[in-house]
Structure 1
Amino acid sequence: MNRLRLIFAASTILASAFGAHAADLHVLNWKGYGADEPWAVEAFEKATGNKVINDFFNSEQEMLTKIRTNPGLYDVVMINAAFNDQATAENLIQPIDTSKIANYGDISAEKAQSPMLVKDGKVYGVPWVWGLTALAINDKSFDTPPTSINVMWDVKHKGRVVIRDDAVEAIQFGAIATGQNINDIKDLDTVKAKLTSLMPQIKTFWSAENDFNQLIASNQIDVGTYWSGSADRAKTQFKLPVSLVIPQEGAVAWLDAWSIPVGAKNVAGAEAFINFMIEPSFYTEWVTKVGAPVSANTKAVAALPEDSFNRKVMGDPEVAKRIQFQAPITDAQREAYLKAWQELKVNVK
């Protein structure tokens, strides 16, 4: 039985368990991020009778705005765990009955019990995948992959460097470049100075995955910040000359989780969908066909070949020592980061 057939089988069992019937299931996620893969949508719909209707966002703030302004529209939403506190505090998402999610028990305990996702003993987010905001390089521009974050500042790459247009991520990237903790930045002025010196290197800022990929495809850039799963997808699915580099100084790590908004009309469908998304057979198919981040499901990672990037490199204890997982930030911090970032961007022609 091949992987996709395993998905059908697992989902059929779920459909029976949930008593699932034909219903719309509104999903909010990043575009091109697993949930909207045609083969996966087809498998889930065929097995459960739910019709998946995907909607997308380009930033966490846009995601929160969509949930706020469309109460009751979405049944399941993908949220970076660092933003789960905010969504919970605003009563945008509801507790999840994990007893109805068969694969939940295979999620690593550290991630399943993350205080960002579990409040007062209630689960508000089911860990899905995790990854890094590190460096992605254009293989055509390097004989040997760089090892330091400072390659971004190398004048040889002036005008061929990109960074994501996201204030929090950019400031945290600057914190790593100045040897600081991304969740406890003591010297914001030093971060701003470091990023100010980077601005002459910048060609442009990217917002969506496709932006970065097009710049690589047209050979306009050498290096830039990028998500690990996106770099894998660029190489696997689009055959682009992209390689991920985890600098010796470290990288920003993030944990993505599935949540159910308050007022969701198809909670049973959402539970079945979440279980489908963390199913090992779906994950291995996703990695093989498209490229993906690291699954929070330990059985899913163990199902990968031993030499696969998401198992060999991302599971390397030495890499684990260098990464810093994003934690929630305050509104005051977010405002300070946004102000600093807007000031920095003015200097890019």
Structure 2
Amino acid sequence: MTRKAGDEASSSLFTSAISRRAALTGMAGLGAGAFLLRLSSLPAQAAAGGELQVMAWEGYDLTSELADWRKTNGVTVETTSIANQDDVQAKFVAGNPPPIDLAEYNQAYADLYIREMKIVTPIDVSKVPNYTSDNLFSQFYDQPTWFADGQHWGSPYIWGFNTILFNADKLAKPASYADLLDPSLKGKIAIMDDTVSSWPVAARVAGLGEKYPLLTKDELGKAFAEFSKYRDQARVIALNQGELVNLMVSGEVVAALCADPSIITQTDQQNMKIEMAMPKEGPVLWVDAWFIPISADNIEAAHAFINQSLDPAVQAKVAMAVVQAPVSKKAVALLDEKSRSRIDYNAIDSIFAAGLPGIPPRASDTHATYDDWIAAWQEFKAGM
């Protein structure tokens, strides 16, 4: 993946994020011995089939898309929903993590999971035949965010944008985040309790988007001073997608700042017309990947699951279901017209040219650190 210039900016794509919502303190001093001991006790090869323990974002767990595969292979899946990225690493804070076989992570968490917490088991791509340059867009094949030190740590399987979502029957399409500050929308917008998406937007509305995540402490203060205008305009800081769906369906909220378009599927089912807008400041780009935790005890089935997640037909189905985009270039032709026209796949190089959003550095003499951002975020939320 293309990265920003400069050593610190480059490394920021691999700096550790503690959560989409709140920090897990004390991780820096967490010993790796328990994790390595757990890894050494895993079987070299687990039996195919059986039960898979999966942690996934709501709607992204492939429950319907892999129904036939599960039946054919005798696989049962127990899914735990992720509301915030910290739900995943929280499972590994204790020295005896549960036997989770698969989980998702946003690209910004690579360094935390792989190098600091050491909770990721390398993927054997010989067992993932769908992981090929012929099937995947080049942005997702052997890129440093997921392939490093000669090993595959994650398998990208879905990407997209968090952006403005709005009730098309009650509001004209916003052209800018600033449109949500219109006095008529006082108490009618929502902000997601999601640091990965909200922090870049805080920087952008303050005119500091190109510097994110490397803002000085003074610039951090300016970013949240500007972002507070949106908080003061909001009815709520929504904790999860389910809360946002309920608020939009009830009509209490008519627009959400930088939300996941996957809720459109849920609102459609309730005859609520929600659309997404691409503000001039830009949506927040992200890529989610599957990884196999060190506590996995059904590694064979985990690899098979990852492989099926990259099947073009499965890719198309999940992309349409969550209103996002496939990593498989072969899947594009299988999308319905509405889904295919939502993104110009011929322009994917330019979409990713600026790189994926990073995370503020853990330590810095010149820039606001991750802890500084967490403190500012908590203060921001306390002001509701």
TM-score (ref. length: structure 2): 0.78
Q: Deviations over 1:216-252 (max 9, x none)?
A: 1000112112444414423554442210111011121
Q: Show the counterpart of 1:6.
A: none
Report if the CA contact (8 A) 2:124-2:152 is conserved.
yes
| SS of 2:297 mapped into structure 1 | coil
Aligned to 1:183: 213
Q: Would you say the 8 A contact 1:253–1:323 is kept in 2?
A: no
One-letter amino acid of the structure 2 residue matched with residue 151 of structure 1:
D
The structure-2 alpha-carbon separation of the partners of 1:232 and 1:325, relative to structure 1 and needing over 3 Å to count, comes to farther
What secondary structure does 2:215 align onto? coil
Shift of 1:328: 4.1
1:114 aligns to what SS in structure 2? coil
The equivalent residue for 2:179 is: 151
Q: Which residue of 1 aligns with 2:84?
A: 59
Which residue identity does 2:262 align to in structure 1? S
* Residues 141, 236 of structure 1: alpha-carbon distance in 2 compared, 3 angstrom cutoff: closer
Q: How does 1:5-84 map to 2 (within 5 A)?
A: 21-35=48-62, 37=63, 39-69=64-94, 71=97, 73-84=99-110
Corresponding residue to 2:281 among 249, 257, 263: 249
**Percent identity between the aligned chains?**
24
Distance 2:352 2:295 in 1: 40
Cα distance in structure 2, aligned partners of 1:19 and 1:262: 13
Q: Match for 2:128 among 101, 116, 120?
A: 101
Does structure 2 retain, via aligned residues, the 8 Å contact 1:67–1:261?
no
Q: CA 1:264–1:67 in 2, change beyond 3 Å: closer, same or farther?
A: same
* Alignment partners' CA distance in 2, 1:154 and 1:60: 32
Task: Identify the range of structure 1 (177-186 vs 53-62) with the bigger mean alpha-carbon deviation.
Answer: 177-186
Output the CA distance in 2 between the equivalents of 1:335 and 1:310. Answer: 40
Structure 1: gaps of 5 or more residues: 1-17
Q: Does 1:120 align with 2:149?
A: yes
Deviation of the 1:98 alpha carbon: 1.1
Report what 1:216 is aligned to: 248
Preserved CA contact (<8 Å) 2:52 2:301? yes
Question: How far apart in 2 are the matches of 1:94 and 1:19?
Answer: 14
Distance 2:152 2:206 in 1: 35
Q: Which residue of 2 aligns with 1:279?
A: 311
Offset at 1:34? 3.6
Partner of 2:378: 342
2:159 corresponds to which residue?
A: 130
* Counterparts of 1:191 and 1:339, CA distance in 2: 13
Give the secondary structure class of the aligned counterpart of 1:103. Answer: coil
Match of 2:345 in 1: 315
In structure 2, the CA distance between the partners of 1:19 and 1:102, relative to structure 1 (3 Å rule), is farther
**Cα gap change, 1:62 to 1:173, in 2 (>3 Å):** same
CA RMSD of aligned residues (A): 2.5
In 2, distance between residues paired with 1:251 and 1:145? 14
CA apart distance, 1:166: 2.6
Shift of the 316–189 alpha-carbon distance from structure 1 to 2, 3 Å rule, reads farther
1:22-68, Cα deviation, whole Å (9 max, x unpaired): 41111111222243x3x335323212112111112211112111244
Whether 1:140 and 2:140 are equivalent positions in the alignment is no
Task: Work out the CA distance in 2 between the residues paired with 1:19 and 1:207.
Answer: 37
Partner of 1:87: 113
Q: 1:304 aligns with which of 335, 339, 351?
A: 335
Q: Contact (CA 8 Å) 1:72, 1:261: kept in 2 or not? A: no
What amino acid does structure 1 have at the position aligned with 2:85? E
Residue aligning to 2:357: 326
Q: Render the CA deviation track for 1:100-141: whole Å, top value 9, x for unaligned.
A: 112111122222233221111211000111111110011122
2:195 equivalent in structure 1: 167
Contact 2:359 2:370 in 1 (8 A): no
Q: Structure 1 length normalisation: TM-score? A: 0.85
From 288, 300, 314, the equivalent of 1:268 is: 300
Report which of the two has the higher share of helix: 1
- Give the aligned residue type for 2:265: R
Change (3 A) 1:137 1:229: closer
Displacement of 1:316 after TM fit? 6.7
User: Cα distance 1:315–1:176, how it changes in 2: closer, same or farther (>3 A)?
Assistant: farther
**Distance in 1 (alpha carbons) for counterparts of 2:376 and 2:198:** 10
Alpha-carbon separation, structure 1, partners of 2:266 and 2:354 = 22
CA distance in structure 1 between the aligned counterparts of 2:242 and 2:198, rounded to whole angstroms? 19
Change (3 A) 1:77 1:85: same
In 1, Cα distance between equivalents of 2:338 and 2:345: 10
Contact 1:82-1:326 at 8 Å conserved across structures:
yes
